[in-house]
Amino acid sequence: REKMWGILRQRGIDGGGLSLRRTRSASVSARSYAAGSKEMTVRDALNSAIDEEMSADPKVFVMGEEVGQYQGAYKITKGLLEKYGPERVYDTPITEAGFTGIGVGAAYAGLKPVVEFMTFNFSMQAIDHIINSAAKSNYMSAGQINVPIVFRGPNGAAAGVGAQHSQCYAAWYASVPGLKVLAPYSAEDARGLLKAAIRDPDPVVFLENELLYGESFPISEEALDSSFCLPIGKAKIERQGKDVTIVTFSKMVGFALKAAEKLAEEGISAEVINLRSIRPLDRATINASVRKTSRLVTVEEGFPQHGVCAEICASVVEESFSYLDAPVERIAGADVPMPYAANLERLALPQVEDIVRAAKRACYRSK
Amino acid sequence: MATAFSATLPLHGSSQENRLLLPPTRLPPPSSFLGSTRSLPIRRLNHAHAARRSPVVAVQEIVKEKKPTNSLLITKEEGLVLYEDMILGRSFEDMCAQMYYRGKMFGFVHLYNGQEAVSTGFIKLLTKSDSVVSTYRDHVHALSKGVSARAVMSELFGKVTGCCRGQGGSMHMFSKEHNMLGGFAFIGEGIPVATGAAFTSKYKREVLKQDCDDVTVAFFGDGTCNNGQFYECLNMAALYKLPIIFVVENNLWAIGMSHLRSTSDPEIWKKGPAFGMPGVHVDGMDVLKVREVAKEAVSRARRGEGPTLVECETYRFRGHSLADPDELRDAAEKAKYAARDPITALKKYLIENKLANEGELKTIEKKIDDLVEEAVEFADASPQPGRSQLLENVFADPKGFGIGPDGRYRCEDPKFTEGTAQV
């Protein structure tokens, strides 16, 4: 593994695309992560997860646009073609509906495809297969045909890519029974959840984030082990707190943690929950936390109406209403297609200040 | 024998030649297949499937080889198998119509009357491990592939003894045991799935080094041939040389939309060579012709030579579904095809060529009638699914229901199958 890492490093895996190499400060890492002196980018984490699963099980194969010779549009599948050959790493033509359907058919027949969408926006061309042939099959066939497929790719807004490349699909896929929807944040999440997804016998939609690919996170020895797996359906409490619960996923976890630090300066102790799994949603953890703090702020990047936050708020109001001291707060992206201009894009997405403001609102309302 | 099958085809307007073998009326371009099944000598064809025959057939083989001009395409056993399968398809569908109008069956039901030759012609050549992928008009494909009439009828009635425990319905016939991979409601949806199943067959052989020469047959209609997924899959199947046969059941109508009104070039078989695979047109009302084409296409796929596009010109005697009043189709057209009923044609062939007599055929028909009646009784007597079945089978891994309030996986809760919803 060390050798593989070394090779990956030499190939400059952190290069290409937007590499926001921000290392965590020591205090944050001591508080939030398992004590580990190694760091890993999310990109490396995903690459190593796919690599290990492919070497463990010959039925796993990768399919997508530019995953082979181009080494992956975002270099996630770097080195896999050289290692496993063209029979296991397929560069497809630009036919989302076609190759997604082929992946689903292969999963019906017993293989374990990992289908990459260059971004989840392109999955809309294949959404019929994700939902109708993959998600619903186990149910329609009464358990005869399960579909052990993983659909992965970057989701949500990147930087200045415009309206058609910036939508967040978490809410859409998470509303479908039969799918499991995961959204990792850190490198540990990325590794553990992707390995769990590939091993899972059901269809998994794995929503990554392009801006997180280049970010480094500390990673423990345990997470580097090839049998490391995170449970699907369990959220992680990134930061303990007692005044307000901030629930979020993917890139917004980073923002929430920063907001929590700002709030700490003002005497508000925020508990940050990293959902990790959008479906099944870990309602138990969210509700337990809200019962402890009595206030809820949910954050997501996607469109506000019928979003993931709406579901979380509904769940909390249904199950922990009497524990709430303030109305639930919901922060989502602006209800507009993503604009291109940098300042407008910043306005269209939740920022750290928005989370801080909402948390303060939740705290002062009770007074 | 040839006369029964040589009616003119409307698209081509020219009369069919009296040929025992394949009927492609246009020669495919010289660079592709050539399978041209026209140049295929009878001898080679017999040799190809001699291995699969019983000793009795071998005798006929010798007879055939001695007198090539008097060769029959099938033996008695094969003929009876084909006849039985087509009668099963027809009786079953007729019974479905009856049951639907009596309220036992509901929702969308699409019947296959008239198209039996295509299903029987192809599927009776497949082994159990070969896969079939179909559309919503899938009852007969499931029956031909081996799913029992009882299981299909119960599924249509929505009973727990159905092949999918009542959870799929008319349009979603799945059977893992028989490799019937559905049953899809969206047209074109089955084509990529079938391509994926063929992909798996090739992957098993090349990467997993298993001994696998399974082929996949994808059935779909003329309307689907205007859908993007069809072309995407023709491209990839030819690109990766997958063992798949794309069978177009061109019944000239997509609900009320005539194929000629919706397609710029109505000759679908031509689209195969555009992607580098052979395209064959065959009379889909003639089970023997379909079978001959199917033999070549299936053995091509098994040999690893790649996909074939077969356009079967056929006709559905009933409307698109049982809810379709079927007013747009011309009565004369219907009458013309009714005169070319594949079952009557095969019956005539069997009798004229002394392969069977009326008595034997009547026995088969009676047997099938009893089978279908019994299937209805069985389905009627079966119970509906239990309430707990509502939440079952959403996931293969029940941990997908997540973690409960006590921190443990919901599926470990002893009351799990009672579900968390109020049912």
Residue in chain B nearest A177 by alpha carbon: B394
CB contact under 8 A, B236 and A92: yes
Distance CA A42, CA A144 (A): 36
Tell me which chain B residues have a C-beta less than 8 angstroms from the C-beta of A200: 397, 400
Tell me which chain A residues have a C-beta less than 8 angstroms from the C-beta of B416: none
- Nearest Cα of chain A lies from the Cα of B303 at a distance, in angstroms, of 19
Q: CA quadruple A285, A287, A293, A296: dihedral positive or negative?
A: positive
Residue among B192, B402, B407 whose CB faces A105 most closely: B192
CB contact under 8 A, A143 and B396: yes
A53, A65, A96, A188: which is the annotated catalytic residue?
A96
Per-residue model confidence (pLDDT) at position B327: 85
Per-residue model confidence (pLDDT) at position B41: 36
Per-residue model confidence (pLDDT) at position B171: 93
Tell me which chain B residues have a C-beta less than 8 angstroms from the C-beta of A288: 405
Residue in chain A nearest B177 by alpha carbon: A144
How is residue B65 written in tokens? 């080889």
Pick the CATH number of B76-381 from 3.90.1150.10, 3.40.50.970, 3.40.190.10, 3.40.50.1820: 3.40.50.970
Other CB atoms within 10 A of residue B406 CB: 10
One-letter identity of residue A60: V
One-letter identity of residue B281: H
Mean pLDDT of A285-301: 96
Say which residue, A215 or B8, is predicted with more confidence: A215
Residue among B191, B197, B397 whose CB faces A109 most closely: B197
Tell me which chain B residues have a C-beta less than 8 angstroms from the C-beta of A93: 232, 235-236, 239
Q: How does pLDDT run across A209-222, given as a tens digit for each residue?
A: 999 999 999 999 99
- How far is CA B239 from each of CA A357, B305, B400, rounded to the nearest angstrom? 56, 11, 37
Is residue B129 a contact partner of residue B179, using CB atoms and an 8 Å limit? Answer: yes
Using CA atoms of B29, B32, B36, B42 in order, give the dihedral in degrees to the nearest 10.
150
Q: At what angle do helices B342-352 and B116-123 cross, to 10 degrees?
A: 60
Q: How does pLDDT run across B161-198, given as a tens digit for each residue?
A: 999 999 999 999 999 999 999 889 999 999 999 999 99
CB contact under 8 A, B189 and A234: no
Nearest to A126 by CA among A159, A89, A88, A100: A100
Per-residue model confidence (pLDDT) at position B399: 66
Please check the confidence at residue A190 and state whether its pLDDT lies above 80: yes
N residues, chain B: 423
Q: CB burial class (10 A; 0-12, 13-18, 19+) of residue B31? A: exposed
Spatial neighbors of B288 by CB under 8 A, at least 6 apart, are B5, B73, B74, B121, B346, B349
Q: How does pLDDT run across B359-414, given as a tens digit for each residue?
A: 999 999 999 999 999 999 999 999 999 887 887 888 887 666 666 667 677 666 66
Per-residue model confidence (pLDDT) at position A6: 43
A165, A188, A210, A311: which is the annotated catalytic residue?
A165
- Measured at the alpha carbon of residue B122, what is the angle toward residues B119 and B123, in degrees to the nearest 5? 75
Residue in chain A nearest B402 by alpha carbon: A233
Distance CA B183, CA B218 (A): 11
Tell me which chain A residues have a C-beta less than 8 angstroms from the C-beta of B183: 140
Mean residue pLDDT of chain B comes to 82
- Greatest CA separation found in chain A? 64
What distance lies between CA A366 and its chain's CA centroid? 33
How is residue B45 written in tokens? 């064809």
- Nearest Cα of chain A lies from the Cα of B44 at a distance, in angstroms, of 32
- Nearest Cα of chain B lies from the Cα of A121 at a distance, in angstroms, of 18
Please, where are the H alpha helices in A175-302? 187-199, 221-224, 251-265, 283-293
Per-residue model confidence (pLDDT) at position B52: 41
Per-residue model confidence (pLDDT) at position B415: 62
Nearest to B158 by CA among B108, B106, B102, B98: B106
Q: Say which residue the tokens 């689903």 belong to.
A: A104
CB contact under 8 A, A140 and B182: yes
- On the CB side of B333, how many CA atoms lie within 13 Å of its CA? 17
Tell me which chain B residues have a C-beta less than 8 angstroms from the C-beta of A142: 164-168, 174, 393
How is residue A99 written in tokens? 């190759």
Q: Is A96 a catalytic residue?
A: yes
Spatial neighbors of B79 by CB under 8 A, at least 6 apart, are B346, B349, B350, B355, B356
Q: How does pLDDT run across A79-98, given as a tens digit for each residue?
A: 999 999 999 999 999 999 99
Is residue A232 a contact partner of residue A282, using CB atoms and an 8 Å limit? Answer: no
Is residue B228 a contact partner of residue A94, using CB atoms and an 8 Å limit? Answer: no
- Nearest Cα of chain A lies from the Cα of B319 at a distance, in angstroms, of 26
Q: How does pLDDT run across B309-354, given as a tens digit for each residue?
A: 999 999 999 999 988 888 888 999 999 999 999 999 999 999 999 9
Residue in chain B nearest A127 by alpha carbon: B189
Per-residue model confidence (pLDDT) at position B398: 67
Per-residue model confidence (pLDDT) at position B15: 38
Distance CA A39, CA B55 (A): 71
Distance CA B80, CA B98 (A): 27
CB contact under 8 A, B394 and A177: yes
Please check the confidence at residue A145 and state whether its pLDDT lies above 60: yes
| 3-state DSSP assignment of residue B321 | coil
Other CB atoms within 10 A of residue B421 CB: 7
Task: Report cis status (omega within 30 of 0) of the bond before A280.
Answer: yes
Mutate to test the interface with B, among A65, A108, A146 (most CBs of B within 10 A): A108
Please check the confidence at residue B32 and state whether its pLDDT lies above 90: no
Residue among A133, A144, A277 whose CB faces B176 most closely: A144
Mutate to test the interface with B, among A115, A141, A289 (most CBs of B within 10 A): A141
Q: Are strands A204-208 and A150-154 parallel, antiparallel or unpaired?
A: parallel
Distance CA B204, CA B144 (A): 26
Report which DSSP code applies to A135.
I
CB contact under 8 A, B235 and A106: no
CB contact under 8 A, A105 and B403: no
Q: How does pLDDT run across B101-159, given as a tens digit for each residue?
A: 999 998 899 999 999 999 999 999 999 999 999 999 999 999 999 999 999 999 999 99
- Gap between the terminal Cα atoms of chain B: 61
Is residue B186 a contact partner of residue A140, using CB atoms and an 8 Å limit? Answer: no
Per-residue model confidence (pLDDT) at position B70: 53
Residue among A93, A143, A233 whose CB faces B403 most closely: A233
| 3-state DSSP assignment of residue A16 | coil
Per-residue model confidence (pLDDT) at position B302: 95
Residue among A87, A98, A233 whose CB faces B192 most closely: A98
Mutate to test the interface with A, among B174, B178, B213 (most CBs of A within 10 A): B174
Please check the confidence at residue A341 and state whether its pLDDT lies above 60: yes
Domain boundaries, chain B: 1-23+43-71, 76-381, 393-423
Residue in chain B nearest A182 by alpha carbon: B400
Per-residue model confidence (pLDDT) at position A285: 94
Residue in chain A nearest B389 by alpha carbon: A142
- Measured at the alpha carbon of residue B182, what is the angle toward residues B181 and B185, in degrees to the nearest 5? 150
Distance CA B255, CA B239 (A): 33
**pLDDT tier, B31 (very low <50, low <70, confident <90, very high otherwise):** very low
CB contact under 8 A, B199 and A132: no
DSSP B2-45: GGGG-PPPTTT-SPPP--SS---SSPPPTTS----TTS--HHHH
- Nearest Cα of chain B lies from the Cα of A174 at a distance, in angstroms, of 12
- Nearest Cα of chain B lies from the Cα of A55 at a distance, in angstroms, of 13
Is residue B285 a contact partner of residue B117, using CB atoms and an 8 Å limit? Answer: yes
Beta bridge partners of A38: A219
CB contact under 8 A, A99 and B182: no
ipTM above 0.85, yes or no: no
- Nearest Cα of chain A lies from the Cα of B180 at a distance, in angstroms, of 10
Please, where are the H alpha helices in B29-163? 42-50, 55-66, 76-101, 116-123, 139-145, 149-157
Report which DSSP code applies to B342.
H
- Nearest Cα of chain A lies from the Cα of B393 at a distance, in angstroms, of 5
CB contact under 8 A, B192 and A129: yes
Tell me which chain A residues have a C-beta less than 8 angstroms from the C-beta of B385: none
Q: Is A2 a catalytic residue?
A: no
Tell me which chain B residues have a C-beta less than 8 angstroms from the C-beta of A143: 392-393, 396
**pLDDT tier, B255 (very low <50, low <70, confident <90, very high otherwise):** confident
Residue among B131, B207, B395 whose CB faces A109 most closely: B131
Distance CA B298, CA B136 (A): 23
Per-residue model confidence (pLDDT) at position B281: 96
Distance CA A339, CA B66 (A): 79
Residue among B166, B207, B404 whose CB faces A284 most closely: B404
**pLDDT tier, A23 (very low <50, low <70, confident <90, very high otherwise):** very low
Distance CA A29, CA A238 (A): 10
Tell me which chain B residues have a C-beta less than 8 angstroms from the C-beta of A88: 207
- Measured at the alpha carbon of residue A300, what is the angle toward residues A298 and A301, in degrees to the nearest 5? 160
Spatial neighbors of B159 by CB under 8 A, at least 6 apart, are B166, B379, B382, B383, B384, B385
Q: How does pLDDT run across A214-264, given as a tens digit for each residue?
A: 999 999 999 999 999 999 999 999 999 999 999 999 999 999 999 999 999
- How far is CA A186 from each of CA A216, A249, A275, A278, B230, rounded to the nearest angstrom? 8, 10, 12, 16, 40
Other CB atoms within 10 A of residue A178 CB: 22
Q: How does pLDDT run across A49-77, given as a tens digit for each residue?
A: 999 999 999 999 999 999 999 999 999 99
CB contact under 8 A, B172 and A105: no
Is residue B64 a contact partner of residue B46, using CB atoms and an 8 Å limit? Answer: yes
CB contact under 8 A, A178 and B395: yes
Q: How does pLDDT run across B52-82, given as a tens digit for each residue?
A: 433 333 333 444 444 444 578 889 999 999 9
What is the percent of chain B where pLDDT is above 70?
78
- Measured at the alpha carbon of residue A131, what is the angle toward residues A130 and A136, in degrees to the nearest 5? 115
Q: At what angle do helices A187-199 and A42-56 cross, to 10 degrees?
A: 30
Mean residue pLDDT of chain A comes to 89
- Nearest Cα of chain A lies from the Cα of B92 at a distance, in angstroms, of 21
Mutate to test the interface with A, among B193, B201, B214 (most CBs of A within 10 A): B193
CB contact under 8 A, B164 and A144: yes
Helix (H) or strand (E) holding A141: none
Per-residue model confidence (pLDDT) at position B27: 42
Other CB atoms within 10 A of residue B104 CB: 16
